[in-house]
């Protein structure tokens, strides 16, 4: 197909999307690109343009796109059936593997998305504690539920612990059920937890908040104060689970919560997520164990479906192979070091934040330790930089590079050249 024909086909698809989709998109990514296919660390759009892919489907494709072993497992299951709304061998085996790997996991329950997992984890904490309030951290992302969309991205942050809704349609009454604390400020968080311990059902936190590393002692301090007050601690590991280490952020940082949520990687590119945690709290999903009053009802048409389970099992098998995490971290560290060096060489003031498997630059003079620190960065400059990178064949999210095991030396070379060219164009105005 000629370049002109491909461009016309993509334009036609974009127009069709405008007619049937609000904003012309699925709501995830700008509505000016339609991805046709992916292979390894790269994707191609409907116009035939090729990109080094650091979006990775928003993170699940840690092995890269269309990994032959994962695809083979899914194809084999396809012939045996795609979903049953009943227990299946692959789902049980995946649950066993997750429980063996994740320090806090004694039992788990499957759902289909990270949003669902976070919603049910907070509900489980409320059922266990028989309290209503949840404490979260400003800027922390926990999916799309009403509780989660409080102080996720407030443009004008308020006074702690008062939450600010991030979406239309959230009940005003919810402001009384959510408390908000600053990330990486253990004194402030501890003070709020102790003050409201009689009302708190749980504390939910991303152990790596977006790309913000926890400062030494922060997660440890959260574990200490929640244990002392009897308030369950929930780690949202939808992103970090099986990414920072095989046992997730709780293994990587050495802090074990009461509950965690998992997603993305455990489904191998298919819709799958889970709530996992200690048996006492997870018992609320079992009516026979807790009775009618304590029972937390949860059903889902596709929860634990075998297509996702076999893809997840194969993905975890590959991650257990010797050298997998060493390669992943080596690639990410090289990218972070090179981005830092290029920014410095070009005289651009920025902080490269995150861990090797996921990071980004924040155009700020000051170290960035919390959400308000990210607001101090030049977000318009970041958006222009991202746009210039896309023009040079680099696809990434608004504020994150996801690194995969499939990214190779050629991908890194092209990325370095794109960073150089995009910064030169940025500085030229």
Cα–Cα distance measured from residue 29 to residue 398, given in angstroms and rounded to the nearest whole number:
9
In sequence order, the 6+-apart residues with CB closer than 8 A to the CB of 284 are 124, 127, 128, 290, 294, 295, 296
Exactly one of 141, 147, 253, 402 is catalytic; which is it? 141
CA angle at 98 for the pair 96 and 102, rounded to the nearest 5°: 130
Query: What token pair was written down for 299?
Result: 């059903």
232 beta partners: none
Catalytic pick among 236, 258, 360, 370: 236
Residues ≥6 apart with Cβ < 8 Å to 22: none
Of the candidates 136, 264, 314, 400, the residue annotated as catalytic is 264
141 catalytic? Reply is yes
The token pair at 282 is: 């997870």
CA 14, CA 262: separation in Å to the nearest integer?
33
Rounded Cα distance between 308 and 91, Å, is: 8
Q: Which residues pair with 235 in a beta bridge?
A: 205, 260
- Residue 282 contacts by C-beta under 8 Å, 6 or more apart in sequence? 106, 107, 108, 109, 124, 259, 275, 276
What distance in Å separates the CA atoms of residue 151 and residue 137, rounded to the nearest whole number? 8
Question: Among this protein's residues, is 370 annotated catalytic?
Answer: no
**What one-character-per-residue DSSP string does 184-251 give?**
T-HHHHHHHHHHTTTTEEEEEE-SSBTTBPPPTTHHHHHHHHHHHHTPPEEEEETTTTTTTSTT-HHH
Q: How far apart are CA 152 and CA 365, in angstroms?
A: 23
264 belongs to the catalytic site: yes
Residue 197 contacts residue 229 (beta carbons within 8 Å): yes
C-alpha distance from residue 337 to each of 6, 326, 331, 399 (Å): 37, 16, 10, 17
What is the H or E stretch that residue 262 is in?
strand 259-262
For the annotated catalytic residues, the residue numbers are 141, 236, 264
């Amino acid at each position: 197909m000629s370049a002109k024909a491909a461009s016309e086909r993509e334009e036609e698809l974009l127009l069709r999307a405008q007619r049937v989709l609000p904003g012309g998109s699925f709501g995830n990514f700008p509505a000016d690109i339609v991805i046709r296919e992916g292979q390894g660390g790269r994707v191609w759009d409907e116009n035939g343009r090729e990109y080094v892919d650091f979006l990775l489907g928003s993170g699940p494709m840690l092995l890269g796109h269309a990994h032959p072993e994962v695809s083979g497992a899914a194809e084999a299951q396809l012939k045996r059936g795609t979903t049953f709304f009943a227990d299946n061998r692959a789902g049980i085996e995946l649950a066993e593997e997750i429980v063996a790997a994740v320090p806090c996991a004694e039992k788990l329950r499957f759902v289909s998305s990270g949003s669902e997992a976070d919603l049910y984890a907070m509900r489980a904490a409320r059922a266990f504690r028989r309290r209503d309030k949840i404490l979260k951290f400003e800027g922390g992302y926990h999916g799309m539920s009403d509780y989660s969309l409080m102080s996720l991205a407030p443009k004008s942050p308020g006074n702690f612990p008062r939450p600010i809704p991030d979406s239309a349609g959230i009940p005003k009454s919810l402001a009384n059920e959510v408390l908000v604390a600053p990330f990486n400020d253990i004194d402030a968080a501890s003070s709020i937890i102790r003050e409201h311990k009689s009302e708190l059902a749980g504390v939910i936190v991303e152990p790596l908040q977006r790309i913000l590393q926890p400062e030494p002692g922060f997660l440890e301090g959260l574990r200490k104060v929640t244990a002392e007050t009897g308030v369950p601690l929930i780690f949202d590991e939808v992103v970090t689970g099986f990414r920072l280490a095989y046992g997730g952020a709780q293994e990587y940082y050495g802090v074990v919560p009461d509950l965690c949520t998992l997603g993305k990687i455990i489904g191998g590119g298919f819709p799958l997520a889970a709530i996992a945690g200690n048996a006492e709290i997870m018992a609320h999903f079992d009516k026979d164990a807790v009775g009618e009053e304590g029972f937390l009802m949860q059903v889902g048409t596709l929860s634990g479906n075998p297509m996702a389970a076999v893809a997840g099992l194969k993905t975890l098998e590959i991650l257990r192979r010797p050298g997998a995490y060493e390669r992943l971290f080596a690639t990410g560290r090289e990218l972070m070091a090179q981005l830092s060096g290029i920014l410095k060489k070009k005289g651009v003031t920025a902080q490269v934040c995150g861990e090797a498997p996921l990071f980004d630059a924040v155009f700020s003079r000051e170290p960035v330790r919390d959400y308000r620190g990210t607001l101090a960065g030049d977000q318009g400059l970041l958006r222009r930089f991202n746009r210039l990178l896309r023009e040079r064949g680099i696809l990434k999210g608004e504020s994150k590079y996801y690194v995969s095991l499939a990214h190779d030396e050629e991908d890194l070379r092209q990325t370095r050249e794109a960073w150089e060219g995009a910064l030169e164009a940025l500085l030229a105005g």
